[in-house]
Structure 1
Amino acid sequence: MKKIFSLLAVGAVFVCSSCTSVAPVVATSNPVGSKCGVATETKILGVYPLEGDHGINKAAKAGGIKRISHVDVETNSILGFLYVKKTTKVYGE
């Protein structure tokens, strides 16, 4: 019974392990824009790309943005590195 409980506890730690951090960084003095462009990239094992490019330039082109006001980056992962999805959102005019 103790072994089963220990395995479940270790499994729960692996499943729940993730990290989110927010750091306000001023990139430009441009006012907040009304347009938003999104670019997404998916990787397996944190190294092998499946699809996409999450670059700022690609997101700006997707939203038709010429002047960038700010950028948000969102990272979703399963077991830390097994499956990683990064999404970049660019705002501006």
Structure 2
Amino acid sequence: MKIEREGVEATLSFLQDFYPLPVESFEPLIKELGGTIELKGYLIYLHDHGFIEGIFDCKLEPPSTPWAIKMDSIRINASGIDHLSRLKETLPFSP
């Protein structure tokens, strides 16, 4: 999966709209990103960079769905909010 600036910005903006409360439903973001696989990809990417918090568990079995994410634990953190502000100020994408 290719990570795009628009998807990063959409995901962080969506999470910021709920901050500091938990997300009620990810359905609007799933539709915007194109599906649940894309949503998981962006969440894992943002978690790897330290921009969001949540419970992420990687299991090797089954290989088609290695990530278990507790969706009601997902929230943007201060680093994510600051990164979103920088994204909105700049044109080129730098993760």
TM-score range, shorter chain: under 0.3
* TM-score relative to the length of structure 1: 0.23
Higher share in helix: 2
TM-score by length of 2: 0.23
